[in-house]
Amino acid sequence: MLAAKEYKLAILLETKVKENNVNTTFQNLKRGWKFTHNYSPEHHTRIWIGWDEESLKVEIIKSKPQFIHLKVGILGSSLAFHCTAVYAFNTLEGRLELWKDIEEIVAGMIDTWAVMGDFNIVWHQNEKLGGEAILHGAVEDFNACIFNSGLADLKWKGEMFTWMVKKGWAFPIKPQSNPLLCFAAKLRNVKLELKRWNKEDFGDVFHSIKVVEEELSRIQADKSLNPMDDSLIILERKAKGKL
């Protein structure tokens, strides 16, 4: 078993730092950390990855303009996982190559694998509020990649919408500045409290139903053998009421 410790890996997207300034910037970010990037003359530096060399060993497996795929090992153990940091192009045609690359990666994947970053497309329309309508074909391509790769969505915790674009500028959204988002945040809080209350007061409802159904079946089986047994009639009535 690993001792309690923090294992730090950071992914930065669209840093806007020129290639000749990257190394200097890396040195000023975090001592004891190592950084890599996917700079190319055509696409500049789109993705940075940094990690704590005292706790992690990182091997760059593949690097392209839209992603960096790496293997992350935890020093002092045999534990390791694969990670793909993504920053997709904002064109449908450009992303098609990314979906193909992801499906090629999964073809040879046998270890734990996480894919994260900015895909520049949403999974469903309800993940986007306002602005231009999303292209149905683009969503289908993204969902096909997710399905073909056997990926599962790890639900985001926090505000549903984190950015608002207006007049060419992007701003972090403050829930209190938008009545709709404020209301949505309150609904999520209610949902979490209801889940907690249900678990603490009722437990696993589906398991409870199964237990009562099995109890009722046993009573009815006994009753079929002893139809005149008044005690079994009473037990059956109680079990039905409980169910």
Closest to 73 (Cα-Cα) out of 92, 59, 63? 59
Distances, alpha carbon 178 to alpha carbons 107, 157, 189, in Å:
44, 19, 17
What mean pLDDT is reported for the chain?
79
Q: What is the mean pLDDT of residues 55-74?
A: 93
More confident residue, 212 or 197: 212
pLDDT of 53 over the 90 cut: no
Q: What is the mean pLDDT of residues 208-236?
A: 84
pLDDT confidence of residue 230: 84
Sole residue written with tokens 């683009």: 138
Q: What percentage of residues in the chain have a pLDDT greater than 90?
A: 21
pLDDT confidence of residue 241: 87
Q: What is the mean pLDDT of residues 147-171?
A: 65
pLDDT confidence of residue 82: 93
Q: How far apart are CA 44 and CA 18, in angstroms?
A: 7
Query: Cβ distance 99 to 145 under 8 Å?
Result: yes
pLDDT confidence of residue 56: 92
Q: What is the mean pLDDT of residues 141-165?
A: 75
pLDDT of 170 over the 60 cut: no
pLDDT confidence of residue 130: 65
End-to-end CA distance of the chain: 43
pLDDT of 44 over the 60 cut: yes
Q: How far apart are CA 52 and CA 34, in angstroms?
A: 7
Lowest mean pLDDT of 21-35, 113-127, 144-158, name the range: 21-35
pLDDT of 223 over the 60 cut: yes
pLDDT of 211 over the 90 cut: no
Q: How confident is the model at residue 212 (pLDDT cuts 50, 70, 90)?
A: confident
pLDDT confidence of residue 174: 52
pTM over 0.85: no
Work out the angle at residue 66's Cα, subtended by the Cα atoms of residues 60 and 67, and round it to the nearest 5 degrees.
Answer: 25
Q: How confident is the model at residue 88 (pLDDT cuts 50, 70, 90)?
A: very high
Q: What percentage of residues in the chain have a pLDDT greater than 70?
A: 76
**CATH classification for the domain delimited by 9-154, as one of 3.20.20.30, 3.60.10.10, 3.40.30.10, 3.40.50.10320:** 3.60.10.10
pLDDT of 168 over the 50 cut: no
Domain boundaries, the chain: 9-154, 204-242
pLDDT confidence of residue 204: 67
Q: What is the mean pLDDT of residues 136-142?
A: 87
Q: What is the mean pLDDT of residues 76-80?
A: 89
